[in-house]
Amino acid sequence: MAAIRRDRFEVMLIGVDVKGAWRLLQEDQLGKYVPEAGPQLALIPGSEDQQIIRLDNQQPIGPIDAVFLILHGPQGEDGITQGLLRTLNLPFVGPDVLGSAIAMDKDVAKRLLEKAGLKVARGIAAYAHERDQLDYMDISGQLGLPMFVKPANMGSSVGVHKVKDETSFWAAIDDAFQYDRKIIIEEMIQGREVECAILGNERPRATAVGEILTPEEYSFDAKYEDENTAQLLIPTEVTEIELAQLREAALRAYRALNGEVMARVDMFLCPDGEICVNEVNTLPGFTNISMYPQLWEAAGLSYSDLIEELLEFAVSRHRAQQQLKTTWRMA
């Protein structure tokens, strides 16, 4: 909010409360949770400039030029909200429905990344109904210890566990299944954790890479709550050859998963120089301790200019979509 140029943009805040209601917010209501107060909103598909209205007075909040999504995880980053905005015919920041959905599903994403010739961590996917068929000895024999257990469709390190023995394995399995019906069990990759920011549609560009140094596992709190838990090196030190290879891998991953507008590609730079793609985050964090805006700042693109570019790419894609035929009639 602080970075948006108010002389160029009028900002309306829409929050989703814990019950799923959309509410029109004031800036002084910004906080950790969306309050269950304020005007509730309703959606009107098919309307050209009154797609979102207040229920209390039946008046539109628009017209709306673009939506800047800052949601994370299921129902925000997985194509559901993107599909809803497509139905409302509104431009939005971030990949379209397909790119959002496949990047969110770590199992599907890894298959596509492998198809594109990129290295990913070895692992297996398992569904909730297969829980009792999992064999700890067999899986640990294949993947080694420690290994990681995580929900297939989740983010921000929620439900992610580093497993070192059988007891922690089953505890991790049960916790991960609380968040998703499908989970991923994968090997631990030894290497430096580096991240690259991508921006653009048809001709995306990539930044240098940043690195995260943490004294412990990179938890939800470390990412969003505690500025002192993790140290971010932006940009981090790599050779020119390594940087070129990391950028190439990040752009290939972006294209493989139908990336558009923006994404942050997380990779491991292994001791032997090999690059392993961990995941592609389609709506990366935008807090003051987040990697994505800081990488672009280091590249010479200010936070305010970055927001404008993101909005421009969102509107440009929307205009191109508007040129496509959506109806067909037999002559």
CATH topology (fold) of 122-187: Dna Ligase; domain 1 (3.30.1490)
Specify the higher pLDDT residue, 286 or 210.
210
Q: How many beta carbons lie within 10 A of that of residue 92, not counting itself? A: 24
Closest CA to 67 of 322, 300, 261: 261
25: three-class secondary structure by DSSP = strand
pLDDT digits (tens, 9 = 90+) for 62-79: 899 999 999 988 899 999
User: By the 8 A CB rule, do 214 and 152 touch?
Assistant: no
pLDDT digits (tens, 9 = 90+) for 154-181: 876 889 999 999 999 999 999 999 999 9
CATH number for the segment(s) 101-105+190-320: 3.30.470.20
Lowest mean pLDDT among 128-142, 185-199, 219-233, 242-256: 219-233
The pLDDT assigned to 328 comes to 82
Sorted by where each begins, the domain ranges of the chain are 1-64, 101-105+190-320, 122-187
The pLDDT assigned to 188 comes to 97
Find out whether the peptide bond into 235 is cis, omega within 30 degrees of 0: yes
pLDDT band (50, 70, 90) for residue 125: very high
| DSSP codes, 124-164 | EEEEGGGGGG--HHHHHHHH-SSEEEEESS--TTTT-EEE-
The pLDDT assigned to 216 comes to 59
What are the CA-CA distances from residue 122 to residues 71, 111, 125, 189 (Å)? Answer: 29, 11, 10, 9
How would you classify residue 271: left for phi > 0, otherwise alpha for psi between -120 and 50, otherwise beta?
Answer: alpha
User: By the 8 A CB rule, do 194 and 129 touch?
Assistant: no
The pLDDT assigned to 224 comes to 47
* Residue whose token pair is 């970075």: 3
pLDDT digits (tens, 9 = 90+) for 231-290: 889 999 999 999 999 999 999 999 999 999 999 999 999 999 999 999 999 999 988 779
- The runs of H, that is alpha helices, within 225-285 are 240-256
* Residue whose token pair is 């297996």: 124
Mean pLDDT of 113-126: 98
The pLDDT assigned to 229 comes to 66
> What burial letters (b/e) apply to 242-254, b meaning 16+ CB within 10 Å?
bbebbbebbbbbb
Closest CA to 88 of 61, 51, 132: 51
Express as a percent the part of the chain with pLDDT over 90.
81
pLDDT digits (tens, 9 = 90+) for 106-115: 999 999 999 9
The pLDDT assigned to 155 comes to 77
pLDDT above 70: residue 197: yes
Specify the higher pLDDT residue, 234 or 224.
234
Closest CA to 67 of 13, 7, 20, 5: 13
